Homo-oligomer: A and B are copies of this chain.
Amino acid sequence: MSLERIDAYLESHAKDFEEQLKTLIRIPSVSAQPDHDPDTRRAAEFIRDDLAAMGLDARIIPTKRHPIVYAESLGAAGKPTVLVYGHYDVQPPEPLEPWLSPPFEPTVRDGNLYARGATDDKGQMFTHLKAVEAWLKTTGGLPVNVKILIEGEEEIGGVNLETYVAENAEALACDYAVISDTSQFAPGKPAITYGLKGLAYFEIHVQGANRDLHSGTYGGAVANPLNALASILAGLKGPDGRILVDGFYDAVRPLEDWEREAFAELPFSEEEFRADLGVGEVFGEAGYSTLERKGARPTCDVHGLWGGYAGPGPKTVLPCKAGAKFSFRLVPDQDPAEVEKLVRKHIEANTPPGVTVEFISHQGSPAVLVDVDSPGFRAAVKAVEASFGVAPLFIREGGSIPVVGLLKRHLKVDTLLLGWGQNDDNLHGPNEKFSLADFHRGIRASAHLLDELSRAT
């Protein structure tokens, strides 16, 4: 039977897969930083070459920014079509100091592969490529039709994928989309994510006087943009963790009773959670459990702030400008465009006198919820159970994967979110990691999924 031969192929090629992944990870394809543009290009070429080496018709599609890689295999007549999505771009590695090994030199410690992009998303994305390879090399074909779409602007919320998908909706038509860019619930507890938050990401620049001033000579006479920035940011969220933007909660779909019960039943120790993070107490919106806040309530976080003097010792400057990046995680049925309007209005209304604020919108995507009672979802449950030896939990996640909404909009398709990562993978921070055991389990689950989907009804 095919699956046994495939499992044997996966076992005998396990080391090759790891080495290939390491080679891909060594390419510092940081999409946010223009000096890495040649690297994003190289990463796209690596993936195209890998797909071509399996015998697929693979090609690079240029965009206005970072290229897309596309490949397809449409030989399974009468069978469903599966679209595999992934991204080869990574978050900036900064700050560099806390990394125990260089971010772009993949290093194995305790069975984990440490590097930027190890789990997000190079490692997870690669599991599907290797599953397809196993089918092709073992049986000469695939049990379903497969379309593979790997982009390079996920981490910067680029618009070029959407343009491409919108213009090629017919060619990309499919029955299911599959993405691995999420986490398991915990080690040994695989999960399928049926809900994701949306995102509305902003940046503000606050300007006071036309030059830096002496805080003795001018203090008290003119507004200080750093004080003003603090006031604006502090005004986003109340001491009870509630977001203070007027109208922000209007569209929020309340958690239903069955969902709150399901959250309460998930295995979770707040004590272990606190110990792992080294915090004395958790903090968030009053009236909701930690898991509810993480997975199903909107949030607001400042990602960076800057202004004035940060060197050693005192400097009595009254700086002329300051800035910050911050975002809101959204839940159904919040509209990111509407949230942007509300936030703009809130900041206009809450800008202290004497400063001006420039408002920049970086990216926006709505939250998604997928139907857990569908043939594709049931097939995914079987595939994960076959590889991990345990049935997956169904979870809602705080992360945002805008492409899920994009595929729904343009291709009218639901996405199966099969997360192979772990919550402590540090995916946007230093020492990002990915368990090699989960890497291989992910490949096997993906290979089985193609088989299950060929029979799904």
Contacts and interface: CB of A to CB of B under 8 A. Distances in A.
A156 interface: yes
Contact of A325 (B278, B283, B315, B323): B315
Give the copy number: 2
A412 interface: no
Interface stretch (A139-147, A217-225, A251-259): A217-225
A33 interface: yes
B211 A92 contact: no
Given A233-B234, A312-B34, A317 B428 contact: yes
Interface in A314-362: 314-319, 322-325, 327, 329, 352-354, 356, 362
A232 B218 CA distance: 23
A215 B227 CA distance: 25
A81 interface: no
Interface string A189-212: 000000001010101000011111
B303 A319 contact: yes
B216 A290 contact: no
Contacts of A203: 314
A297 B113 CA distance: 58
Contacts of A298: 220
A393 interface: no
Interface residues of A, number: 106
Contacts of A279: 208-210, 222-223, 354
A280 interface: yes
Interface stretch (A71-79, A394-402, A434-442, A446-454): A394-402
Interface stretch (A37-45, A128-136, A165-173, A235-243): A235-243
Contact of A308 (B98, B237, B290, B304): B304
Contacts of A98: 211-212
Contact of A222 (B277, B316, B356, B428): B277
Contact of A398 (B217, B281, B324, B399): B217
A352 B279 CA distance: 13
Given A428-B212, A429-B212, A224 B92 contact: no
Nearest to A210: B278
Interface in A174-199: 183, 197, 199
A248 B330 CA distance: 41
A94 B309 contact: yes
Given A313-B32, A316-B201, A283 B215 contact: no
Contacts of A220: 241, 284-285, 293-294, 297-299, 329, 398
Contacts of A428: 212-215, 315-317
A264 interface: no
A429 B211 contact: yes
Contacts of A312: 32-34
A305 B306 contact: yes
A311 interface: yes
Interface in A108-161: 155-157
Contacts of A301: 215, 219, 224, 226-227, 318
